[in-house]
């Protein structure tokens, strides 16, 4: 009985959550995004049968028409005249002509006369929204229709087609308004008002129930009384012609013709559009594609470049083609969607209660796959949208609910382990321990790893002037900053030693790029950390990195142990950090580390030569890490290479040549090569060259320097 009560409670809670998600705005918006994927699965629809042609007011047209936009309206008069010469069936302007010509108002008369003579021209209207403050201090939005100039209204026998792009919650245009009602008047959309021109007959509009009747077409409407646009493809799916090509006849002079030679792209007897037949019997939509006119909108179908922007005139074209082909999209209503979500939830819950573990997961995945296939099939064959994301979420919640008890138990156990070890080891290690990939016992193994040491420059004098609470606060922020970057680059934080940090790479999670990740950590941390809430100088950090074979594992006592690394190569990493101070630089890696990342060609190093480190008999080749090669200037790359040449001269005993190079580089140490002014690699090598030139060279001299 107790188990049944728990199951019932889980069913009610997860069912209620499923209902909340179903009606929530983010899920509804997400469902629209899933619908968009169906367009990509279906792909574009062939438009060879389409009579629609888009004449674009393009940037090319703006360059060729010898006037600043907005162009004189006689240009549009010429456009109408030439389109009709070429046999266009309909001419539809997606341009609002509600202002007089700014060049000469006589042009408006020419425009109106051309439209009246053609008899197949449709203009657009719209709505203007203005905010007014009432007497009660509330802002009131007033809406008023906007029409073309009176002369244009009288010139066209057709009703004005209204344009009012209405976006979904995510800003995309997926549906098309058919009718606008304002103060008892009905206004119809551009696509509907184009139908009489296309069909060559009177078309009546009837708005009833869930359908809109227009010229024999039964247009299904969605809950917002809009038609779903069946996009045939992405931007430029229809045929496009730039406007200047049509107006460029023998009587119109383009910018090119003014400056160079006559072209006449419209009526040239050999290549003119007039003689090619591509304008004959076409339904021509004229609109802007110039970005500065801001008539681009987000649509669900991406173009060839995966861009979802589309010119507004083409949105109208897709809506018109949907109506002409009667290729309508339909969607299920709210009630049916709720039933589908509920059935999917209950079915999944009952199945996964009966099947547990992998069986429940497999059944859930099978239900998700089955629903997804059904959605795709119905869209491809019936143009029908079923709810996608709400149903998938309901299935997921049902599965989650049916396994909630065992999941909560497992989570409690994992939390115990994480709370015990998260203060000592990296998050990756904790996860591995939780999954029993690493045993809870002493001991370890030898692995090739990379170790990193860091230390704050001049920390003692820096901290002496701070109050204890200020120092603790600053160090907490600094160490948090360092630790986050180490973890982001797959490093394991070993320990804090005062202001120093020790980390290693390649364990517990093996990585082929452990040396590269350590170098990336150094670059990401940077030598300088700006403590913005103090007036003190920025904190500067030194880094030492070494790669080699180390012992890694749990070290300590049976009561308490630490996951760490040990060995001679760990000591070398610490010596590399110490060498930073002596050499006056902020990031040194060993030759082993440099050799591991050399083939990546990712990092820029400066070869510092062979250095005898404190406590070690054998000299070690050291490199200064300057940053990424991709971000380095050519000058810095050249300086690093020249320094390397100087080191080669030094190691060959050519002290004069070496000294000359180092003296020339001395001025760039602090400005270009991330080194200190007073003590830096160039100054150290200069001193060594002077010393060796003034005394006889020891036969056992091996080209090394001793700085630590």
Each residue of 61-101: pLDDT tens digit? Answer: 999 999 999 999 999 999 999 999 999 999 999 999 999 99
What's the rounded mean pLDDT across residues 138-164? Answer: 84
Least confident interval from 182-186, 249-253, 354-358, 654-658:
354-358
- 339 and 283 part of one domain: no
Assess if residue 454 is contained within a domain.
yes
Regarding pTM above 0.75, the answer is no
pLDDT mean over 521-538 = 68
Q: Please state, in angstroms and rounded to a whole number, the distance separating the CA atoms of residues 280 and 257.
A: 26
- In terms of domains, do 350 and 319 share one? no
In a domain, 433, yes or no: no
Residue 353's pLDDT band (boundaries 50, 70, 90)? confident
State how far the Cα of 14 lies from the Cα of 9, in Å rounded to an integer: 9
% pLDDT > 90, the chain = 53
Tell me: pLDDT of 56 over 90: yes
* pLDDT at residue number 287: 95
Average the pLDDT over each of 101-115, 531-545, 652-666 and give the range with the smallest value.
531-545
Based on the fold, state whether residues 278 and 363 are members of the same structural domain: no
Q: Are residues 96 and 16 in the same domain?
A: no
**pLDDT score at 162:** 92
The answer to whether residues 315 and 359 belong to one domain is: no
Q: How many other CB atoms sit within 10 Å of the CB of residue 135?
A: 5
Average pLDDT over residues 527-547: 72
CA 4 → CA 8, 142, 352, distances in Å?
6, 59, 15
Q: Tokens representing 179?
A: 């009718």
Q: Which of 285, 307, 325 is the last residue of a domain?
A: 325
Assess if residue 686 is contained within a domain. yes
Can you tell me the mean pLDDT for 319-340? Answer: 92
Q: Give dist(CA 372, CA 377) in Å, integer.
A: 9
Please check the confidence at residue 440 and state whether its pLDDT lies above 50. no
Q: What is the mean pLDDT of residues 357-370?
A: 86
pLDDT band for position 134 (cuts 50, 70, 90): low
| Coil/strand/helix, residue 542 | strand
Residue 411 lies in a domain: no
Strand spans (E) along 515-644: 528-529, 539-556, 561-566, 587-590, 603-612, 620-628
Nearest to 395 by CA among 355, 347, 359, 356: 347
Average pLDDT of the residues in 23-32: 88
Nearest 10 degrees: Cα torsion 221, 224, 228, 229: 130
Separation CA 676–CA 458 (nearest Å): 13
407 located within any domain: no
The pLDDT assigned to 430 comes to 66
Looking at residues 257-276, what average pLDDT do you find? 88
Q: Are residues 383 and 493 in the same domain?
A: no
Same domain, yes or no: 356 and 466: no
What pLDDT sits at residue 3? 60
Q: Which of 220-229, 276-285, 535-544, 625-634 has the lowest mean pLDDT?
A: 535-544
Inside any domain, residue 43: no
- Here the CATH number for the domain that contains residue 595 is 3.30.70.1230
In this structure, the answer to whether residues 451 and 384 fall within a common structural domain is: no
Does pLDDT of 437 surpass 80? no
Give a yes or no: residue 280 inside a domain. yes
Alpha carbons within 13 angstroms on the beta-carbon side of residue 47 total 22
Residue with the bigger pLDDT between 332 and 416: it is 332
pLDDT at 698: 79
How many structural domains is the chain composed of? Answer: 3
| Pairing of the two strands 443-456 and 500-505 | antiparallel
In this structure, of 200-204, 653-657, 704-708, the range with the lowest mean pLDDT score is 704-708
Q: Are 206 and 340 found together in one domain?
A: no
Structural domain contains residue 53: no
**Chain centroid, CA 704 distance in Å:** 50
The last residue of one of the domains, among 273, 299, 325, is 325
| Dist CA 622 CA 647 (whole Å) | 12
Residue ending a domain, among 325, 342, 368, is 325
Residues 155 and 289 in one domain: yes
Say yes or no: 176 and 29 in one domain: no
Task: Clarify whether residues 280 and 210 are in a common domain.
Answer: yes
Q: What is the pLDDT of residue 612?
A: 87
Quickly state the pLDDT bin for 471 (edges 50, 70, 90). Answer: confident
Among 19-33, 362-376, 398-412, the least confident range: 398-412
Q: What residue numbers bound the domain in which 368 lies?
A: 2-38+332-402
Burial of 413 (0-12, 13-18, 19+ CB in 10 A): exposed
Q: Where are the alpha helices (DSSP H) in 44-105?
A: 59-64, 74-85
Greater confidence (241 vs 436) lies with: 241
pLDDT digits (tens, 9 = 90+) for 228-257: 999 999 999 999 999 999 999 999 999 998
- pLDDT at res. 354: 77
Residue whose C-alpha is closest to residue 494's, from 538, 542, 556, 548: 556
DSSP 293: G
């Amino acid at each position: 009985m107790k188990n049944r009560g728990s199951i019932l409670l889980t069913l009610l809670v997860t069912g209620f959550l499923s209902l909340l998600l179903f009606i929530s705005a983010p899920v509804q918006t997400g469902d629209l995004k899933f619908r968009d994927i169906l367009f990509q699965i279906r792909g574009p629809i062939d438009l060879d049968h389409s009579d629609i042609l888009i004449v674009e007011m393009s940037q090319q047209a703006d360059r060729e028409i010898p006037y600043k936009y907005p162009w004189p309206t006689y240009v549009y008069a010429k456009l109408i005249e030439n389109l009709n010469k070429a046999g266009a069936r309909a001419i539809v302007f997606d341009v609002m002509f509600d202002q007089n010509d700014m060049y000469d108002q006589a042009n408006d008369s020419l425009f109106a006369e051309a439209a009246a003579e053609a008899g197949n021209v449709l203009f657009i209207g719209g709505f203007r929204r203005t905010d007014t403050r009432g007497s009660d201090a509330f802002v009131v939005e007033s809406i008023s229709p906007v029409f073309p100039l009176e002369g244009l209204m009288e010139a066209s026998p057709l009703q004005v087609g209204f344009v009012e792009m209405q976006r979904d919650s995510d800003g995309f245009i997926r549906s098309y308004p058919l009718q606008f009602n304002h103060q008892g008047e009905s206004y119809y959309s551009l696509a509907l008002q184009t139908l009489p021109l296309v069909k060559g007959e009177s078309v009546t509009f009837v708005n009833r129930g869930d359908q809109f009747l227009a010229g024999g077409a039964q247009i299904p409407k969605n809950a917002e009384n809009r038609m779903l646009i069946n996009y045939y493809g992405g931007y430029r799916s229809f045929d496009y012609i730039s406007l200047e090509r049509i107006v460029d006849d023998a009587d119109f002079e383009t910018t090119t013709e003014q400056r160079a030679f006559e072209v006449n792209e419209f009526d040239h007897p050999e290549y003119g559009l007039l003689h090619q037949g591509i304008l004959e019997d076409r339904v021509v939509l004229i609109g802007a594609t110039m970005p500065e006119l801001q008539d681009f909108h987000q649509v669900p179908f991406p173009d060839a470049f995966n861009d979802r922007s589309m010119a507004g005139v083409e949105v109208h074209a897709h809506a018109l083609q949907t109506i002409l082909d009667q290729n309508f999209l339909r969607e299920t209503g709210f009630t049916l969607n709720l039933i589908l979500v509920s059935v999917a939830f209950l079915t999944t819950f009952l199945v996964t209660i009966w099947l547990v573990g992998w069986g429940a997961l497999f059944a859930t995945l099978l239900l998700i796959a089955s629903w997804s296939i059904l959605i795709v099939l119905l869209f491809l064959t019936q143009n029908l949208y079923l709810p996608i994301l709400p149903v998938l979420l309901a299935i997921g919640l049902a599965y989650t609910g049916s396994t909630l008890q065992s999941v909560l138990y497992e989570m409690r156990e994992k939390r115990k382990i994480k709370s015990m070890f998260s203060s000592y080891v990296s998050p990756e290690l904790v996860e591995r321990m939780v999954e029993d990939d690493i045993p809870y016992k002493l001991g370890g193994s030898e692995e090739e790893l990379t170790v990193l040491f860091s230390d704050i420059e001049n920390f003692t004098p820096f901290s002496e002037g701070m109050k204890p609470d200020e120092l603790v606060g600053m160090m907490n922020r600094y160490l948090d900053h360092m630790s986050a970057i180490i973890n982001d680059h797959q490093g394991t934080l070993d320990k804090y030693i005062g202001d120093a940090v020790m980390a290693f790479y390649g364990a517990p999670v093996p990585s082929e790029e452990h040396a590269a990740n350590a170098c990336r950590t150094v670059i990401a941390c940077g030598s300088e950390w700006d403590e913005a809430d103090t007036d003190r100088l920025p904190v500067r950090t030194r880094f030492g990195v070494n790669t080699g074979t180390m012992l890694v594992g749990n070290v300590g006592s049976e009561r308490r142990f630490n996951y760490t690394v040990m060995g001679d190569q760990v000591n070398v990493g610490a010596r590399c950090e110490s060498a930073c101070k002596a050499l006056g630089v902020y990031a040194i890696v060993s030759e082993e580390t440099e050799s591991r990342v050399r083939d990546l060609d990712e990092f820029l190093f400066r070869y510092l030569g062979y250095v005898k480190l404190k406590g070690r008999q054998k000299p070690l080749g050291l490199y200064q890490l300057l940053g990424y090669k991709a971000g380095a200037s050519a000058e810095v790359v050249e300086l690093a290479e020249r320094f390397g040449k100087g080191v080669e001269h030094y190691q060959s005993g050519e002290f004069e040549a070496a000294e000359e190079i180092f003296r020339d580089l001395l001025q760039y140490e602090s400005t270009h090569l991330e080194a200190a002014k007073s003590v830096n690699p160039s100054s150290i090598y200069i001193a060594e060259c002077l010393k060796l030139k003034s005394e006889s060279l020891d036969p056992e001299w091996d080209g090394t320097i001793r700085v630590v």
